[in-house]
Structure 1
Amino acid sequence: MAEPTEVMGKTETLAWLRRISGDLATVTIKRLEDTLPWYAEMPPARRSAVGLVAQAGITSFIQWYDDPGSTPWIAADIFAVAPRELLRSVSLQQTLQLIRVTVEVTEERVAGKGEHLREAILLYSREVAFAAADVYARAAEARGLWDARLEALVVDSILTGEADEELPSRIAALGWHGHGEVAVLVGTTPPQFDVDQLRRTARKLGVDVLIGVQGSRLVLVLGRAEPPARAEDATSELPFAEIAKRLEPGFGTGHLVLGPTVPALVDASQSARA
């Protein structure tokens, strides 16, 4: 006979949670404004979007409490109400702060309603935190793939000399920090290509780099990075020939071809053609 009582208790709890969900959302928004400076400083539209995420989290908890097996779609349910750009303007750390505030408010409101309910909130908050991390990881992966495609397009435009008016904005979107002189370096793509290691080496040598892989050909567009803060650090003054020599381990077997130095990135096609 204990089971019907337990079921009835859960039914009553669900009804009560649904009745107070609006109040929970209101108190949560007020707590966000009072405790999270980054939230209070947001533009109204973006703040509203974050508030919608918090409200969706409360609604989703009630649904999850009714059916704990719904965990797989928690992330989609919560983040679906927010505009796409929210992931780019709100960091994972800020999202976790948002989850913590929402859980704190909910815990305070359900205090005394039974330990089982409090445990459910803690379990749910853990699942949402993992789900949020997964959402951000997927967004970062998608961003990385988009950047790689855009970078390949930019390098191809430089090689063919078919630059258009959109090339500067595409280069800016890739976070190009180069200034001044530019040179193009072409060699063989290694069997095990470590693009991150090549970028790290380039940074240590004081150059920014755009990387393009065209089958067996590896193309690097090298540009002088911002000068280092310390005047005695002269790595940015290395000639491109020396930079190419130090980057050689990142290429496959075969010759490296270094184009002549040109004044700016917009002139890089001249170095590539030469």
Structure 2
Amino acid sequence: MDQLSAPAVTALRRAQNTLIEHSLDRISAAHPWYHTLPAAARTQIQTVARLGVTMFVDSVAEPDVETDPAHIFNVAPVALTGTVSLEQTLELVRTVVDVVEEEAPDVVPAANHDAVRVLVLTFGRDVGFAAAQVYARVAEARGAWDARLESVAVDAMLHDSADDAATRAGTAGWRGTGPVLAIVAQTALDALATSRLRHECRQYVQDCLVSVHGDSVIVILGGANTPEEQADSSASRAELESVATRIAAGLDGAVVIGPVVSGVAQGGRSLRSALAGLRALPGWAEAPNPVHADDLLPERLLAGDPLASEQIQALVTDPLRDMGSLYEETVATYLALGGSLEMTARALFVHANTVRYRLGRVSKRTGWDATNPRDGLVLHLAIIVGRLAGAPAQ
């Protein structure tokens, strides 16, 4: 770096306060957003600008002493990075550099003009890099803290009360009150991949939590981007499921999508269902990927998942019973007789078309078709669950 003569250094010392005042005037005039900042933030920016000019003059006066431009930002609290963006900070640095570059050569002997310009531009470049480093460190720390809050919120959904889960989610930035569902994937993600996944989720939904647990990643989605008044409508639920399917398809490994629940306070139910589905997944070798937790009800039930028993009763047993005993009896008989329409008709003393009609009604009402082997298994287990629930205690 070029060195200045002693008279040039002395001249810069004399002009230091003028350079500072002119830099602050230029900042005020050139950046309208500066006046919208809180008074405390403006004061901190002024302090940074003063220190920047002072450190430049000090570095010129003592070129053998190593100067760290990052120290300029030590006088401003980290909170300032949340008020002033990196782009705005670089605009401020450029403004101060411009003023010093324009005026400093005029106060030193002519022989030092070029050297002053080189020193100003070099110091300004170093300050710009230092600012970028400060913001990068803050962003990294903020990202790590946000990830920690999300992990705590997800853990609360698994282990704490519904109210505590909602509170923890709110602390992690959850704002919506609409439907929620969970996705669990058996895959390992590093910090960068996790950040990308979080960013992708937020392109589609209002709220999301992403948490890595060993070799699994958990995603909680909520508040699909629909009008507020439709936040809990069936359309919003369908949209949320569509988004979940899209996100799940992009994840590696086995992926299970939990059922939609009414809000973040009930998010633990969807998450526990998805985790139970992932544990029970080996029981269904032909399962699609991704797969819904409710499609794994037989395996979850056999694995001892209490939510599976509640879910199969709510989704299948109760609707089937509401249709009347004839329909439940028809399904039970059809399944017991190996799926034969004719044998079922003879056993019930009805025409085969009547059996076919009843089975169609059941399929339309419950969503499970007794003539499909997989659906038939769900219906069979639903009937068993209902009978056990209604059996007198021994």
- TM-score of the superposition, structure 1-length normalised? 0.80
**Residue 265 of structure 1: aligned partner:** 264
**Residue 223 of structure 1: aligned partner:** 222
RMSD: 3.2
Identity %: 35
Bigger Cα displacement from structure 2, 10-19 vs 82-91: 10-19
Alpha-carbon offset, residue 177 of structure 1? 5.3
**Residue 73 of structure 2: aligned partner:** 79
1:114-125 residue pairs with structure 2 within 5 A? 114-125=113-124
- Cα distance in 2 for residues equivalent to 1:74 and 1:100: 14
**Residue 44 of structure 1: aligned partner:** 39
Unaligned runs of 5+ in 1: 1-5
Alpha carbons 1:159, 1:272 under 8 Å: kept: yes
Bigger Cα displacement from structure 2, 127-136 vs 190-199: 190-199
Alpha-carbon offset, residue 181 of structure 1? 0.6
SS of the equivalent of 1:111 reads helix
- Cα distance in 1 for residues equivalent to 2:35 and 2:249: 50
Alpha-carbon offset, residue 108 of structure 1? 2.8
AA aligned opposite 2:140? E
1:247 aligns with 2:242: no
SS of the equivalent of 2:5 reads helix
Taking structure 1 as reference, are residues 103 and 251 closer, same or farther at Cα in structure 2, changes over 3 Å only?
Answer: closer
Aligned residue-pair number: 262
**Residue 214 of structure 1: aligned partner:** 213
Alpha-carbon offset, residue 49 of structure 1? 0.5
- Cα distance in 2 for residues equivalent to 1:103 and 1:192: 40
**Residue 138 of structure 2: aligned partner:** 139
Residues 168-195 of structure 1: per-residue CA shift (max 9 Å, x gap): 3x53454435441112233312477832
**Residue 84 of structure 2: aligned partner:** 90
Q: Which has the higher helix share?
A: 2
Residues 96-154 of structure 1: per-residue CA shift (max 9 Å, x gap): 11112211221232233322112211111111111111111111111111111111111
- Cα distance in 1 for residues equivalent to 2:21 and 2:31: 15
Residues 22-43 of structure 1: per-residue CA shift (max 9 Å, x gap): 2222222222111111112222
Taking structure 1 as reference, are residues 226 and 118 closer, same or farther at Cα in structure 2, changes over 3 Å only?
Answer: same
1:63 aligns with 2:63: no
SS of the equivalent of 1:210 reads strand
Tell me: higher relative CO, structure 1 or 2? Use CA pairs within 8 A at least 6 residues apart.
1
AA aligned opposite 1:182? V
AA aligned opposite 2:182? V
Taking structure 1 as reference, are residues 236 and 71 closer, same or farther at Cα in structure 2, changes over 3 Å only?
Answer: farther
Bigger Cα displacement from structure 2, 51-60 vs 115-124: 115-124
SS of the equivalent of 1:184 reads strand
SS of the equivalent of 1:256 reads strand
- Cα distance in 2 for residues equivalent to 1:204 and 1:17: 52
- Cα distance in 2 for residues equivalent to 1:118 and 1:54: 18
**Residue 238 of structure 1: aligned partner:** 238
Residues 228-274 of structure 1: per-residue CA shift (max 9 Å, x gap): 89xxxx9955366555443334445346252x322111221233344
1:30 aligns with 2:25: yes
Taking structure 1 as reference, are residues 224 and 191 closer, same or farther at Cα in structure 2, changes over 3 Å only?
Answer: closer
Alpha carbons 1:177, 1:226 under 8 Å: kept: no
AA aligned opposite 1:126? R
- Cα distance in 2 for residues equivalent to 1:253 and 1:263: 28
**Residue 187 of structure 1: aligned partner:** 185
AA aligned opposite 1:23? T
Alpha-carbon offset, residue 56 of structure 1? 0.8
Alpha carbons 2:24, 2:46 under 8 Å: kept: yes
Bigger Cα displacement from structure 2, 146-155 vs 59-68: 59-68
Alpha carbons 2:224, 2:239 under 8 Å: kept: no
